[in-house]
Amino acid sequence: MRESFLPDLGVGLIGTGFMGRAHALAFHNARTTFELPVNLKLVALADADAGRAEQCARSWGFDRSHADWQQLISDPSVQLVAITTPNHLHFPMAMAALEAGKAVYCEKPLAVSLEQAREMQRAAKAAGVVTRVGYNYQHNPMIGLARQMIESGDLGQIVSFQGEFSEDFMGDPQQPWSWRCEQAHAGGALADLGSHLLAMARYLLGDVEAVCADSQTVHAQRPATHGSQEQRPIAIDDQTYALLRFANGARGTFGSSWLKHGYKNHLSFEISGTKGTLSFDQERLNELRLYRAGAPGHDGFQRILAGPTQSGYAAFCPAPGHQLGYNELKTLEVHALIQALCGLGNEGPDFAEALEVERLATAIRVAAKEMRWVKVSDI
């Protein structure tokens, strides 16, 4: 009965892959997990494959489907456009949605070039609408706790950041070519995985002033399709590593690889200060490890376990140790987005912040290509 007294918020979702399904689940879960200030309606779903669009719309609870994403954006009952397509389509879709005055929820990375990202941010500012980008790992309650500990001085003055995001889904040289292997469509391990880590580093420690980097294409060709004898050339990075100088004086390391066998979602960091060290690994996303200096005879890391005392966790479970997962993080991201749309909060990276992540990634590419230190402010 409560929904009938709330304003409607119509959602249009573009894309039916892994991320499309994750977004659909998050919208559904947000409705059942939180008392939302709007009546969240799943209005339309678009995919270039008309049959798949219709099937997914029916299975995922959307009112209707479109084979043309422009029809979805033109739909007057859609106020929020969620974009989960391959990276090179983010720009035209987001720009069309902004021109139509729609709020935009776009998966990361924001764009395939810094020029596109700048234009998207300018358009978002001119449209005056809410935008968000899918750096969902920041919405982990344990990451919120880590930031709180850093800002409150629990670690003292921060002196170092060591970050890595590694997976192994491209580790096999026989893994075939895909759109992720095309520079104009994706951008390699730095864009695909590394952008998450760069966003995390900025979220926890602030601006990076300068970088020095190296990148490598390990497998210079891949089969065109599974089992094909045709080989396609690869020009994007399989792995990228960088040194970071933060504006707060800390120094850091960055690593991103999609070739590292044994790792499935190794978004990890260690942050050290004058009073201690804090570490995190997304493969154990419900834990932080904390070392406090100055306890002779009691040296060792303390395990901090997620529980209802951390903001966001209690919405899903009243008991500690029962664990949140990837889809819960996506639900928390959607909840923060809806709160922002209703003027009730400002959590989560918008297009302006995503532009800064793209600027930092571009600086790393320039540094790797020119083999020198690069000031981010020069990009």
H/E run at residue 271: strand 266-273
pLDDT at position 46 is 98
pLDDT at position 130 over 70: yes
The fold adopted by the segment(s) 139-324+351-378 is Dihydrodipicolinate Reductase; domain 2 (3.30.360)
Q: With cut-offs at 50, 70 and 90, classify the pLDDT of residue 5.
A: confident
Report the CATH number of the 2-136 domain: 3.40.50.720
User: What's the CA gap between 246 and 111, in Å, rounded?
Assistant: 24
As a whole number, the mean pLDDT across the chain is 96
Q: What is the structure's pLDDT at 1?
A: 42
Task: Locate 342 and state its tokens.
Answer: 């209703």
pLDDT score recorded for residue 297? 77
CA angle, residues 37, 38, 39, in degrees to nearest 5: 140
List, edge to edge, every strand of the sheet that includes 80-83. Answer: 64-66, 39-46, 8-14, 80-83, 103-106, 131-133
- Tally of helices (H runs) and strands (E runs) in the chain: 10, 17
Summarize pLDDT for 96-121 with one digit per residue, the tens.
Answer: 999 999 999 999 999 999 999 999 99
138 residue type, one letter: Q
Q: What is the pLDDT of residue 4?
A: 59
- Cα dihedral value 115, 120, 126, 132, nearest 10: -140
Check for a shared fold between 2-136 and 139-324+351-378: no
Whether omega for the bond prior to residue 109 falls within 30 degrees of 0, making it cis, is yes
**Domain ranges for the chain:** 2-136, 139-324+351-378
